[in-house]
Amino acid sequence: MKKMAVTLVSLLAATSLAACGSTNTAKEGSATTTPATTAAATSAAVKSDAKPVKLRIYAQYADEDTKTPYDYAVAELKKEMPNVELELDIQAQDDGQKLKTYAATGNLPDIFQAGLDIIDTFKKSNNILVLDDYVTKFGFKDKMQPSAMNTLITDDGHSYAFPYAGNEVALLYYNKELFEKNGVKVPTTYDEMMAAVQTFNGKGITPLSIFAKEKWPCVALYDMFVSRAEPAGVTKLDKGLAKAEDAAYKTAADKIIELVKAGMLPKGATNLNYDQAAALYHEGKAAMFINGQWEIEAATKALGDKAGYMYLPAADAAAYEKGKTAFSGSGGPGGYAVSANTKDKELAAKVASFISLKYAEYKYTNRGNPIVATKVDKPIVKQFPPMMEQLSKDIPKMTSTTAFSWGLSNPKFKAALEDATQNLLTGNYTSDQFAKDLNKAAVTAK
């Protein structure tokens, strides 16, 4: 009996200690090591005590590409901040006029999507919140793609919106099958580009198709050549930091003129619209084609695995290798911004930051779009087509981008550059005349 009693006492003591140990482990683990369900329950209990808040948000919500990422971001927000309710005001397709009216009448939403035009306008009227402290406090800056920092920070060095879209780029597409069947090396140098042009012409194949009736592709082609020697491309001209007769800019014009005279483009290239130029490439009648990365879907649908994009040819092998990470095209500051007059600035900024991150996350994982400003570490649901997969690997490696013509800051110079680059494609224009016209416009514009 004594032995049994001792045993019972020991068992009771052990049970008591075990119970205490279990309780301590649960308390410690609730913050760090408990199962996800326990942590989630604890977190939800804490969050449920937060005071309900309603924030008005002005955002795009027009099609699958804008509705689904927004809905996903809102659903994720509900898990993270269940006390926050977003009241959606659907963005009008009116170049920001409705939003500007809201600002003028003191009715600006707490959170709103803003591009550079809205940012610049609202900075002057003190309607947009400076987010410098919040991009650091919420860790948003650490989540940015290094190559997309230009979408977070404006020229004045400040942040006014949490971006979700990354830099769009101009690409030189090619038909792999046409190159292989005709024994043409994918060009890495200008000499190899000339050889490709001559070979394809000799076989009755258009070397490069471009819809030069629109002027921005003309600027993009010129910018591609410039960026092989000057990574900033046309942006230096736009800002008055370079002149068109400088080596990188004059050489680019000369090379394009040489290639055009050698028959690089289809006849009447400056009269071709997108449908006409794209048809040449999609139907296997043109070996190369210029467009933005948004062409990937259409090119893949038309050509399948035959479609690809090449790294741009340069002066020599060394310049080619160095230039692989320098891309033509760009984006600009923009994303989810916060009203300077919102009641709880930190909360609104926190919500805007969260929505932006989740919006980008969904576009990357579920829409097959790698053109996002922030890093995504979740698995891809919708697989990328081969070219998009290549681009998704290139984006983190980008060392520079330039600008599309619509992103240039000097309107008069933009118009002159568009006209001058279109003239380059006629074959009846010299690099000296090109430089003269651009310099005249730059001086006039200042």
Tell me the longest C-alpha to C-alpha distance in the chain.
Answer: 115
What's the average model confidence in pLDDT over 132-156? 95
Residues in the chain: 446
Instruction: Quote the pTM value.
Output: 0.78
Residue 443 has what pLDDT? 54
Host H or E run for residue 17: helix 2-29
Q: Report how far residue 296's alpha carbon sits from residue 387's, in angstroms, rounded to the nearest whole number.
A: 7
Residues sharing a CB contact under 8 Å with residue 115, sequence separation 6 or more, in sequence order = 96, 332, 333, 334
Tokens describing residue 422: 């279109």
Q: What percent of the chain has pLDDT over 90?
A: 80
Contact 374, 143 (CB under 8 A): yes
**β-strand partners of 337:** 112
Contact 233, 403 (CB under 8 A): yes
- Would you place residue 48 in the very low, low, confident or very high pLDDT band (cuts 50, 70, 90)? low
pLDDT digits (tens, 9 = 90+) for 74-97: 999 999 999 999 999 999 988 899
Q: Report how far residue 249's alpha carbon sits from residue 24's, in angstroms, rounded to the nearest whole number.
A: 70
Query: What string of DSSP letters covers 264-331?
Result: -S-TTGGG--HHHHHHHHHTTSEEEEEEEGGGHHHHHHHHGGGEEEEPPPBSSHHHHHHHTTB-S---
What's the average model confidence in pLDDT over 395-414? 90
What's the average model confidence in pLDDT over 428-434? 95
Question: Mean pLDDT across the chain, nearest whole number?
Answer: 88
Contact 310, 186 (CB under 8 A): yes
What is the rounded (10 degree) CA torsion for 221, 223, 224, 226?
Answer: 130
pLDDT digits (tens, 9 = 90+) for 100-134: 999 999 999 999 999 988 999 999 999 999 999 99
407 secondary structure, DSSP code: G
Q: Report how far residue 317's alpha carbon sits from residue 407's, in angstroms, rounded to the nearest whole number.
A: 31
pLDDT digits (tens, 9 = 90+) for 11-37: 333 333 333 333 333 323 333 333 333
What is the rounded (10 degree) CA torsion for 399, 404, 405, 408?
Answer: -50
- Would you place residue 265 in the very low, low, confident or very high pLDDT band (cuts 50, 70, 90)? very high
Amino acid, res. 260: V
Q: Report how far residue 430's alpha carbon sits from residue 62's, in angstroms, rounded to the nearest whole number.
A: 46
Residue 408 has what pLDDT? 86
Scanning the structure block, which residue is given the tokens 């580009």?
Answer: 193
Contact 419, 222 (CB under 8 A): no
Rg (CA), the chain: 28
Host H or E run for residue 208: strand 206-209
What's the average model confidence in pLDDT over 323-333? 93
Tokens describing residue 383: 């697989």
Residue 102 has what pLDDT? 98
Q: Report how far residue 353's alpha carbon sits from residue 164's, in angstroms, rounded to the nearest whole number.
A: 9
Q: How far apart, in Å, are the Cα atoms of 361 and each of 67, 200, 253, 442?
A: 14, 42, 40, 41
Scanning the structure block, which residue is given the tokens 């190899």?
Answer: 192
Q: Does the pLDDT of residue 206 top 80, yes or no?
A: yes
Long-range contacts of 195-198 (CB under 8 A, 24+ apart): 196/287, 197/259, 197/262, 197/263, 197/264, 198/262, 198/263
Residue 94 has what pLDDT? 87
pLDDT digits (tens, 9 = 90+) for 340-356: 999 999 999 999 999 99
Residue 39 has what pLDDT? 41
φ, ψ for residue 386, nearest 5 deg? -50, -45
